[in-house]
Amino acid sequence: MRYLSTRGAASGQRFSDVLLEGLAPDGGLAMPEAYPMLGAAELARWRPLSYPDLAYEVLRLFADDLPAGDLRAMVSRAYTRELFGCAEITPLRTLEPGLHILGLSNGPTLAFKDIAMQFLGQAFEHALGRAGTTMNILGATSGDTGSSAEHAMRGKQRLAVFMLSPHGKMSPFQAAQMYALQDANIFNLALRGVFDDCQDIVKAVNGDAEFKLRYRIGAVNSINWARIAAQVVYYFKGYFAATRGNGEPVSFAVPSGNFGNIYAGYVARSMGLPIRRLILATNENDVLDEFFRSGVYRVRKTAEVRQTSSPSMDISKASNFERYVFDLVGRDAGWLAMLWQALDAHGAFDLRGTRAFDAIAGSGFVSGSSSHRDRLDTIRAIHGRYGCLVDTHTADGIKVGLQYREPDVPLVCLETALPAKFAATIREALGRDPERPQGFEALEALPQRFTLMEPDAAEVKAFIARHALT
């Protein structure tokens, strides 16, 4: 498998190369030259596999430059009962015939990002070991990504993590998930500012090419191809769990923000998995819903982004969306570059009246949005009807999913976080706190370890210089 960039450079890179880089050198995102196509025989062979074995089969197609034995060892270390609470890793709950919830949030930080991040931790360690070097990861988080990355990288010999977070702006639970880590390779920098300040500083540090090279600064953001590839696996797992035979269609409902999760579903569909519909759900920040309804992609200004009760979907633009549009324009990198120029200049592009617009219809996507009121109603309805408690993001997905549900087509709603993470809204919906999984009862009472700092790039750099792995 070779990779190319959405902006045109056919670099001939392999999985190990795109693993360690953020953007491609020309500013685009890494894409496989073609999606692997599966036949009926492969689907039949994969159906009974355990999660780690299935992950091995799927990832092997994208990472064929890794020694098979190494890849097998990596997935068996990433996907354990110990880390994910059960052997299935992503258990399927059936609410009623034809309506299911795929549990993606049983990992160490109770959100679906753990699934990709645990693999990324293994992949990084492997690649750095082979190269005989180390990496200092710099990231910014508003909650879920940072804790997931830290839990995946903690204690790893060749990795240090410097995570910028907005001091006092996360839920106490989210803050504690990061700040309670005592591992020597994890550094939490709590900035007196907002999430955008954190992100700006990450950009500023990465813009200093000499510093970046000197301290081998790496990233774990959602555009990393390895994260996408790892997410493709659970679409297969969910499909097999919800059907009896291969060939039956299934639809997936996906709470979406940066378009990473649902894009992985689109990759699975492109590989030949019989996915009928990819049902994209947004919250009040509906830039993606607007696109699928109109053909116009209009990114939001920071000031336009609303703070909602499904905060992990509060986005102004969707960082993985470029990959999908690259396919829509028939992989014409010149056309894609023009669209992104229009985006930079005018904040929007319009596909109506083009071949790319016509291609949307065949790609399986439908969309809808959900509001705070919808979220509360859905949490109450699903709890009342099925005795099942879902978090706010999952509720957005279920709300839109049910809107598009078809008779005779199983609907699988992806659970992207556990309700314990978003207790305030659960309290508002049901008048009581969500239960906490075992081991999380006294999380906020644990001693915390973080460094409080002004949102100043020079200060952050000085801190990294003092603590970075050499």
Ligand X SMILES: *Cc1c(COP(=O)(O)O)cnc(C)c1O
Other beta carbons within 10 Å of 97: 7
If you write DSSP's letter for every residue of 414-443 in order, what string do you get? EE-B-GGGGHHHHHHHHSSPPPPPTT-TTG
The least CB distance from residue 165 to ligand X, in Å, is 15
CA-nearest of 363, 360, 361, 434 to 395 is 434
The least CB distance from residue 332 to ligand X, in Å, is 25
Residue 235 or residue 259: which is nearer to ligand X going by CB? 259
Residue 121 or residue 255: which is nearer to ligand X going by CB? 255
Residue 236 or residue 259: which is nearer to ligand X going by CB? 259
Cβ-defined contacts of 378-382 (< 8 Å, 24+): 379/419, 379/425, 379/426, 379/429, 379/430, 380/429, 380/430, 382/95
For residues 187 and 184, give the distance between their C-alpha atoms in angstroms, rounded to a whole number.
8
List interacting residues with ligand X (CB under 6 A): 111, 113, 144, 222, 255-261, 312-313, 393, 416-417
**In residues, how long is the chain?**
470
Expressed in percent and rounded to 5, the helix, strand and coil fractions of the chain are: 45, 15, 35
CB 211 within 8 A of CB 143: no
Residue 85 or residue 455: which is nearer to ligand X going by CB? 85
The least CB distance from residue 258 to ligand X, in Å, is 3
Q: Is 348 strand, coil or helix?
A: strand
Residue 73 or residue 360: which is nearer to ligand X going by CB? 360
Other beta carbons within 10 Å of 209: 8
Rounded-to-10 torsion of CA 215, 209, 16, 181: 40
| Cα 22 to Cα 11, 137, 220, distances in angstroms | 14, 11, 8
Residue 113 or residue 156: which is nearer to ligand X going by CB? 113
What is the token pair recorded at 20? Answer: 């360690």
The least CB distance from residue 407 to ligand X, in Å, is 28
The least CB distance from residue 363 to ligand X, in Å, is 16
If you write DSSP's letter for every residue of 145-180 in order, what string do you get? HHHHHHHHHTT-TTEEEEEEEETT-S-HHHHHHHHT
CA-nearest of 55, 63, 75 to 13 is 63
Residue 122 or residue 370: which is nearer to ligand X going by CB? 370
What is the token pair recorded at 273? Answer: 């998995």
The least CB distance from residue 251 to ligand X, in Å, is 17
The least CB distance from residue 375 to ligand X, in Å, is 12
The least CB distance from residue 295 to ligand X, in Å, is 20
Residue 222 or residue 246: which is nearer to ligand X going by CB? 222
CA-nearest of 11, 21, 14 to 135 is 21
Residue 100 or residue 113: which is nearer to ligand X going by CB? 113
For residues 68 and 71, give the distance between their C-alpha atoms in angstroms, rounded to a whole number.
5
Strand order in the sheet with 250-255: 92-96, 99-103, 411-415, 250-255, 275-282, 365-369
For residues 326 and 6, give the distance between their C-alpha atoms in angstroms, rounded to a whole number.
6
The residues carrying an active-site annotation are 113
CB 378 within 8 A of CB 408: no
The least CB distance from residue 417 to ligand X, in Å, is 4
If you write DSSP's letter for every residue of 27-73 in order, what string do you get? S--EEESS-----HHHHHHHTT--HHHHHHHHHHHH-TTS-HHHHHH
Residue type, 177: Q
What one-character DSSP code corresponds to residue 284?
A: S
